[in-house]
Structure 1
Amino acid sequence: MMFDAPSITRFIGLIVALLAYFGVNVPEDLAEAITSLAVAILAVYTAWKNNYISRKGHQQKEALKKQGLTKGGNK
């Protein structure tokens, strides 16, 4: 993943600063809410990608087990 929580926060802060420069006032609560939502979405996406949740993920886990590449070996 190319973004992490601090990167998203800085990016949203940059957008808010640019909007303020051009005279658009963004309430701090709104900026925090947008940042929190973006971080929550990132957390869910990361959890999905780093765990064997989908059918394809289960197949990958089984293939890794057969090769002895997971903790616990060939159980």
Structure 2
Amino acid sequence: MDKASVTRFAFLIIAVINAVLNLIGYQTIPDEFVNDLVAVISGAYFIYAAWKNNYLSKKGQKQKEVLEKHGLS
């Protein structure tokens, strides 16, 4: 397993534990904090995805040139 898979799995376990604790009446993490955290993580992920899916970096521009050279773009 790579780092990303381990991180996703850890977040899943924490979310499940939090959900179970909320079901039995314990408020472990304030809702405002969770909402803010989700907003920050989502924003960072969207920026990362936009960067990776465009030819903005020097490496990306070189990849685009190669694709155009071979008629794949």
Query: What range is the shorter-chain TM-score in?
Result: 0.5 to 0.7
Percent of pairs with identical residues? 31
- Higher relative CO (CA 8 A, sep ≥ 6), structure 1 or 2? 1
Distance 1:49 1:59 in 2: 14
Structure 1 residue ranges without an equivalent (≥5): 71-75
Shift >4 Å, 4+ stretches: none
Aligned positions of 1:31-70 closer than 5 A: 31-70=34-73
Contact 1:52 1:61 in 2 (8 A): yes
Number of corresponding residues:
63
Distance 1:40 1:68 in 2: 34
Counterpart residue number, 1:14: 15
The alignment's TM-score, normalised by the length of structure 2, stands at 0.66
Instruction: State the shift of 1:25 in Å.
Output: 2.8
Cα distance change of structure 1 residues 13 and 35 upon mapping to structure 2, 3 Å threshold: farther
Instruction: State the shift of 1:30 in Å.
Output: 0.5
- CA root-mean-square deviation: 3.3
Structure 2 residue ranges without an equivalent (≥5): none
The alignment's TM-score, normalised by the length of structure 1, stands at 0.65
